[in-house]
A and B are shown apart, each in its own frame.
Chain A
């Protein structure tokens, strides 16, 4: 069975500093996709960044970047120059083809608080 583990239930960071959120996963698949979603206090899930497992290059989106280590099954999210608006729950998610359907498996989330 595929699993996603986020070992940091809560984290805090000072505004303008850098923070890294950890995520590990377990799968026997070779072709899959990894995501980080942000859930702010409004509760709407927003896609932050996406990584294709067959690509060695780490994905980046402005201040957000990932460190994808396929052999270690690790997919951490780095937020640079943290802003107050980054305060949210962050979910790591894994997706692969299951009988023609692409479904997520989510981690339990990391609550990030950016301090002024």
Chain B
């Protein structure tokens, strides 16, 4: 079955550490996205990528980095510069361009906690 796989489901980070969240899709979608979800704030866009080897900052990119070396993969690194990284992170993918208006497919998320 086609879909998006996020791993790990739960992740714990110590102060000052970088951690990487994995996102893999087998839907043959060109576009991929990372969202952060906090209680009472909905979903906020961190980074997005329309094609391989290209990505753009979203609304809250500070303290995060991404790469898009393969169409199927869009990992997110939460760096030590992110002051409040504890949140739920959702990855999504879609058809590129106007096709995205049919909706995104979301992964099941990663819960990141700073300890």
Contacts and interface: CB of A to CB of B under 8 A. Distances in A.
Interface residues of A, number: 24
Q: Which of B40, B42, B50, B100 has the most CB atoms of chain A within a 10 A radius of its CB?
A: B42
Nearest to B41: A108
Given A101-B50, A103-B48, A108-B40, A35 B103 contact: yes
B42 A47 contact: no
Given A101-B48, A104-B45, A108-B40, A44 B103 contact: no
Size band of the interface chain B makes with A: 20 to 34
Interface string B94-115: 1001101111101111000000
Contacts of A50: 102-103
A43 B108 contact: yes
B88 to A, nearest CB: 7
Contacts of A109: 42
A102 B106 contact: no
A50 B98 CA distance: 15
Contact of A97 (B33, B94, B98): B98
Given A47-B103, A50-B103, A97-B98, A106 B43 contact: yes
B103 A100 contact: no
A102 B93 CA distance: 12
A102 B42 contact: no
B1 to A, nearest CB: 14
Interface string B23-36: 00000000001000
A97 B98 CA distance: 8
Q: Shortest 8 CB-CB distances between A and B: which pairs?
A: A102-B100, A45-B106, A106-B42, A106-B43, A108-B42, A44-B108, A47-B103, A33-B101
